[in-house]
Amino acid sequence: MMSIQPIARFVKASTFVNTFTPYRGRHVRLYDSPSLFDNTWTTSKKYLTDQIIQSGIEGEILAGYFLAQSPRAFSLDIDDHANRGPGFLAAVYREAVARLAGEPPSILRKSPRGLHAFWFMSYPVPLEILLARLNTMLSGVPVEIRPTGTTALRIPAESDLIDPVTFMPLRESFEVAVDEATRYHPAEVLGESIVPKAVRDSLRERRADYERLRRASTIARAEAAHQYIFPKETNDALCALIPLYRAAELTENEAAARFAMLLAPVYDGELRQWPRLIKRVHSFYKNAPERNPYEEGRVDVGLFDQMAARNVAALWTGPTDNKQQRGAITKRRLNLEAFALDILQWRGYVDTVRATPSEVATWDYLYPYFRKNTAEGYTPLPRNLLKKFDWNYDRLLPHLVGTGFLERSPYQYSAEGGICYYYRINDQKFI
């Protein structure tokens, strides 16, 4: 008995979706205009169906697509708006290819006014990172990077595909041409700076800027509490402000200048003398505390965060036979409280990332499974971050895990894959 095989209706559309990674939530269409004016492109917020894609590839309709947040392809629109001729188009095309490490596009399409060049990549790159890199590499070249998340590009018609080298028409079907086209590693055409490690380094710099802003706000609050430093108040003010200045990476001269501006007009003590003030500031910088101090309060840490950190730290116990042992317990509890507060602040930062889809796409590119794990309520806690919070974090972490403040996810750690440990933060249990 002869078996009947199912017929795939939209093979070309499936190939397009898997390779070009379009955003399916909207698209553009070119309709015949009932007026005397030219036909116009209209944006539709309806789903970009396989039937629309297939019809666009087969030339039955004119439709355009937008890119998804993590595309596996990008394209350049090379147009000759001033009718300068084929020589102009060829020169711009060669310059664009040269800027992209000399690698020709995976496929090329002739358009009504020029060329659409498409490069396929072996794995997705977040749209924000991709566009920033392309804008830098193609600066000064008269091309448009299209589509993006906001600008569309026409779905390539099968009959318009040409060879990227000879410019001769292709005889293969759309799906064969696309399947056999070159897939580039992103670093091959976009440079080494596009790889996750390089982008992760730039992210660290941005996070450092974010932390500096938070510290600046903390400093402002601390200085507001010491608006005028009167006689007999200088020691307390020095202890409160200078460590904050140092944590914010101010130089000794900058810290001394800020402190001098807070001295009350009636103060005429030794700190009015610049050499003496610099000497006192230098002593604070030289004898730096183990941790960055925030005695005047932490930015974006609410009452419940402070309560949870204090309560989980209070569970630390030990022998209390003498003053030294009792002092060691007090010090460990203070370290645990500060460590827990740092973790809660970090969770707040991660929450701000999750609120922006483009940021989520970027972090998912840098830290695999970020989107999935955070959606399940887990927060990434990389080792280098914990070490930044406290150099001896390995002495503090077991207590937070043992008390249930931190609950490790069941997902595996992989240093080679950039996958850190994820934890659920159960601060509500300690409020």
The predicted-structure confidence for 72-93, as pLDDT tens digits, reads as follows: 999 999 998 888 888 899 999 9
Which backbone phi and psi does 33 adopt, to 5 degrees? Answer: -85, 135
| CA–CA distance, 428 with 344 (Å, rounded to integer) | 12
**Residue 388 pLDDT > 80:** yes
Q: Is 84 left (phi over 0), alpha (psi -120 to 50) or beta?
A: alpha
CB 70 within 8 A of CB 366: no
Kindly report the average pLDDT of the chain as a whole number: 84
Quote the CA–CA distance of 43 and 30 in Å, as a whole number.
Answer: 9
As given in the structure block, the two tokens for residue 414 are 């992989």
pLDDT, position 323: 83
Which residue would you say has higher pLDDT here, 153 or 412? 153
Q: 364 versus 119: which is more confidently predicted?
A: 119
- pLDDT-derived band of residue 373, with 50, 70 and 90 as boundaries? very high
Residue with the bigger pLDDT between 215 and 142: it is: 142
Query: Quick one: tokens of 224?
Result: 């507001």
Highest mean pLDDT among 71-85, 238-252, 300-314, 349-363: 71-85
Q: Which helix (H) or strand (E) holds 24?
A: strand 22-31
Provide mean pLDDT across the span 288-314: 65
pTM above 0.85, yes or no: no
- Tokens 């933060």 sit on residue: 425
Report in angstroms the alpha-carbon separations of 82 from 33, 85, 89, 110, 113. Answer: 25, 9, 11, 17, 10
Q: What is the pLDDT of residues 190-245, one digit of tens each?
A: 987 787 777 766 666 655 655 555 566 567 767 777 778 888 888 888 888 888 88
Considering only residues 110 and 268, tell me which one the structure prediction assigns the higher pLDDT. Answer: 110
Of residues 1 and 133, more confidence is placed in: 133
Determine the average pLDDT of the residues in 165-184.
Answer: 92
From edge to edge, which strands make up the β-sheet containing 379-380? 379-380, 422-425, 406-408
Q: What average pLDDT does the segment 363-380 reach?
A: 88
List domains and CATH numbers for the chain.
Answer: 11-187 (3.90.920), 196-286 (no CATH), 303-430 (no CATH)
Name which of 290, 314, 219 is nearest 259 in CA terms. Answer: 219
Rounded average pLDDT over 159-174: 92
First to last CA, the chain: 71
pLDDT over 90 (residue 175): yes
Check pLDDT > 50 for residue 297: no
**For the chain, percent of residues with pLDDT exceeding 70:** 87
More confident residue, 255 or 13: 13
pLDDT of 164 over the 90 cut: yes
**Is residue 3 very low, low, confident or very high in pLDDT (cuts 50, 70, 90)?**
very low
Count of alpha carbons within 13 Å of 30, Cβ hemisphere only?
Answer: 15
Average pLDDT over residues 130-136: 91
User: What is the predicted pLDDT for the residue at 79?
Assistant: 92
Query: Is the Cα torsion angle 394, 395, 401, 404 positive or negative in sign?
Result: negative
pLDDT in tens, 11-50: 999 999 999 999 999 999 987 655 444 567 899 999 999 9
Contact (CB, 8 A) for 114 and 79: yes
pLDDT value at residue 202? 65
Answer for the pair 49, 131: CB distance below 8 angstroms, yes or no. Answer: no
Q: Contact, 424 vs 405, CB < 8 A?
A: no
Whole-number Å distance between alpha carbons of 397 and 395? 6
pLDDT confidence tier of residue 382, bands split at 50, 70 and 90: confident
Angle at 291 between CA 290 and CA 293, to 5 degrees: 130
User: Among 207-221, 247-261, 287-301, 310-324, which is the least confidently predicted range?
Assistant: 287-301
| Cα(149)–Cα(65) distance, integer angstroms | 9
